[in-house]
Structure 1
Amino acid sequence: MLYTKELERLKYLTLKNNNDNYEYSTTLNSNCKQDLEWWSHNIVASTNPIRKNSYKLEIFTDASNTGWGASCGSETVSGHWSQEETQFHINSLELIAAFFGLKCFAKDLKDIEILLRIDNVTAISYINRQGGVRYTHLHHIAKEIWQWCESRNLWIYATYINTKDNIIADFESRKELGNTEWELNNTHFLKIVSIFGEPSIDLFASRTNSKCQDYVSWHPDPGAIAVDAFTVCWSNYHLFYAFPPFSMVLKTLEKVILDRATGIVVVPYWTTQPWFPIFNKLLIQEPIIFQPSEYLLSLNNCRMSHPLHQKMKLMAGLLSGKHS
């Protein structure tokens, strides 16, 4: 069903625009061609096994105007929307929330059936019908979900749950924005890259503020390649980027030494801190100093200045633990 919707929509629009003339010729668009290529590659070997409705996983998801939430068993995950996503219709957000729940709880699973519990009937319909013809933006999200599942041989089915019964996921989706995910302004980050080079991974990030395509999050995150930067080996990356919470600067420097890694580390310019001499010792290039500014840091694309912006300087350094 997933690979028929584009053709069905093209047929519907062509007939509508040509007075239901079935003799009219039309041109296939790129989406239709991609779907036909899928059929060409898969039709001979494809099967449709009888489903047992034996679900190995049950995931509850919900979306609000500010964020998304999901729960599975005793585990919960949540996050906030990007600035662009805040403009999306709630039906789109509910589908995306379901996708994020799958990514957080099922990304390492294969060959099982999963039950999704959602309180939005439109999202349920687009999942169970494997897309739709009427709303292309919803179809594209549903298609991305199913293709992600297809690559893992996962079969999903969505059922309705009343909002008042979807307590945990609803609570997670409405969490207030915390003040722990401050990120360096992109203008300043680009200056760092122009001097030190392009990093391959962001070690302290989330889906909405990562500076690299690959990133490690502090909590479960739908796009992260790992959780908790201190559990991965930093020397596996030719150049990492790290803007750690201020309370973890010393631990970050110790990790650079332990892994004999090379990367860019951004810290506050606090000369009296016990980690400051260690930072200077690890430098392999002159650091960059950023003067206090209300635009130096941002929080999840909000127009909010850091409470210390009037007096806080930041320092970015290219560090290496190979010679420590």
Structure 2
Amino acid sequence: MLKPFMEKTTHKIRELASLLGTLNAATPAVAYSLTYCKRLERKKFLALIASDIDYEGKVTINERVREDLVWWKTNVSKGFSKIRTKKFALEISSDASLTGWGAHSENRSTHGFWEKSHEKYSINYLELLAASYALQCFASNLSDCEILLRIDNTTAVSYINRAGGIQLPHLSELARNIWEWCESRQIWVFASYIPSGENVEADRASRIKNIDTEWEISNKFFSKIESKFGPFSIDLFASNANKKCERFCSRFPQPNTKAVDAFTIPWSDKEGLYAFPPFSLVLKTLRKIIIEKAECTIIVTHWPSQAWYPLFVELQVSDSLILPPKIGMLLSPCRKKTHPLAARLSLEAANISGKLFRKED
């Protein structure tokens, strides 16, 4: 049945409906396959609307739909599906607010702020995205197991358990991303509704508004720094919302982070290390660079009166780049808050090396 759809792009809606009927009947026996029916179902749904519910009308298979047909062709002959025991290896709760997301599992909590691009989305989308982030934070090292997701949004629960939907493609594609991530690890998730009043830890984490440690340098000024000292391969102090490199270390568990707490991993001088540490961690950062004899591009406040400043100067292997005070140079996660010292705060960037440190006798 798949073969004609692999060879031609235009078919009768009736033919697609017949194929879908067979595929849906096969989903219990082919793990993760429900995910790869949703684009086909939406294609049929839209074609029927366009043809005034005439099953003899035409439907065109585009490349995105063809991807799912290829998946079915590859997997249907070797398909299997394990019996689900609901013996969960992990229970994760997640929540979203309009400002950020939170997650909790096994006495650990984490949170993050939404990027500017997320402001246009509904709370249903943000709840689904929060669930995705929670999985990536707490289950990235797991495989071949079942995980329980506890979510206080019925739409997010439905889209996860049904592996997507037809009428809201942006939600369906996000649910698809969750299941593709699970498929790559042979993880099976089940979403369960939890009343908001019981989702205390995740809800509290999603509403954290103290962003004093989350300041980032704007892309405009970062480009100046990277053009002088880069390229960089890892951002040592970041979050998923403000990272300057694809690889980054975070303070709390975050999606796609290389490590939680940059001080717990070695800082290789063979990598392009970029560090914009919180002001209170500058001395600790310099010590780490000295101990490991690492080389790193670091941004600090231009405060020569600070106790750590002479050490910063001693370790320099390049000229400094001074960034004078400028409104908009430092951004908050939500991009709406101006740094309280913006009008008088200068930043200084330099390439430093721990190999230059000479311990006094």
Report the TM range for the smaller structure's normalisation: over 0.9
> Counterpart of 2:4?
none
Structure of larger gyration radius: 2
Maintained 8 Å contact 2:234/2:271: no
Larger CA deviation: 183-192 vs 255-264 = 255-264
Partner of 1:155: 188
Deviation of residue 50 (structure 1)?
1.2
- Compute the displacement of 1:237 (Å): 4.9
Q: Per-residue deviation at 1:27?
A: 2.1
- Which digits, 9 at most, give the CA deviation of each residue in 1:34-78, with x for residues without a partner? 111211222222211111111121111111111111111211111
> How far apart are 1:185 and its partner, in Å?
1.8
Partner-residue secondary structure (3-state), 2:36: coil
2:349 is aligned with 1:316: yes
Residue 257 of structure 1 is aligned with which of 283, 290, 294?
A: 290
1:170-206 CA-partner distances (Å, limit 9, x unpaired): 2221222321111112111100111112200100001
| 1:38 maps to 2:67 | no
1:277 maps to amino acid: P
- Runs of 5+ unmatched residues, structure 2: 1-33
Report sequence identity in percent: 45
Q: Which of these residues, 219, 222, 225, is aligned with residue 252 of structure 2?
A: 219
Q: Provide the C-alpha distance between the structure 1 equivalents of 2:349 and 2:336, rounded to a whole number of angstroms.
A: 23
Task: State the one-letter code of the partner of 1:38.
Answer: W
2:242 pairs, out of 184, 197, 209, with 209
List per-residue Cα deviations over 1:55-114 (Å, max 9, x = no partner): 121111111111111111211111221122122101101101111111111110111101
Aligned residues of 1:284 and 1:318 also touching (Cα < 8 A): yes
Partner residue, 2:266: 233
Match of 1:276?
309
Q: Which is further off, 110-119 or 37-46?
A: 37-46
**Aligned twin of 1:80:** 113
Matched residue, 1:185: 218
Question: In 1, are the aligned partners of 2:114 and 2:334 still within 8 Å (CA)?
Answer: no
Q: What SS is found at the alignment partner of 1:293?
A: coil
Quick one: structure 1 residues 25 and 237, their matched pair in 2 at CA, closer, same or farther if it must change by over 3 Å?
Answer: farther
Cα deviation, residue 258, structure 1 = 2.1
Runs ≥4 in structure 1, deviation > 6 angstroms? none
Aligned residues between the structures: 324
Cα distance in 1 for residues equivalent to 2:118 and 2:80: 37
In the superposition, the TM-score normalised over structure 1's length comes to 0.96
For each residue in 1:254-298, what CA deviation from the matched residue of structure 2 results, as whole angstroms up to 9, or x when unmatched? Answer: 212222222210001111223222222222221100111222211
Distance in 1, Cα, partners of 2:320 & 2:269: 23
Q: Point out the more displaced range, 49-58 or 201-210.
A: 49-58
- Unpaired stretches in structure 1, ≥5 consecutive residues: none
Paired residue type of 1:217: S
1:40-119 to 2 correspondences below 5 Å: 40-119=73-152
Equivalent in 206, 218, 221 of residue 173 of structure 1:
206
User: In 2, are the aligned partners of 1:258 and 1:321 still within 8 Å (CA)?
Assistant: yes
Instruction: Go from structure 1 to structure 2 and tell me whether the alpha carbon gap of 1:90 and 1:169 turns closer, same or farther (over 3 Å shift).
Output: same
Aligned position for 2:321: 288
**1:144: Cα distance to partner?**
0.3
- Give the TM-score normalised by structure 2: 0.86
| Post-superposition offset of 1:127 | 0.4
Aligned to 2:279: 246
Separation of aligned partners in 1, 2:176 and 2:243? 25
Q: Which residue of 2 aligns with 1:123?
A: 156
Give the Cα–Cα distance (whole angstroms) in 2 for the partners of residues 165 and 240 of structure 1: 42
2:334 and 2:202 mapped to 1: Cα distance? Answer: 24
* CA positional deviation for 1:323: 4.3
After the TM superposition, which of the residue ranges 115-124 and 24-33 deviates more from structure 2? 24-33
Distance 1:268 1:143, change over 3 A: same
**2:59 matches 1:26:** yes
Partner of 2:29: none
Equivalent position SS for 1:270: coil
For 2:93 and 2:269, how far apart are their aligned partners in 1? 35
Cα distance between partner residues in 1 of 2:54 and 2:339: 62
- Structure number having the greater helix percentage: 2
| Alpha carbons 1:2, 1:130 under 8 Å: kept | yes
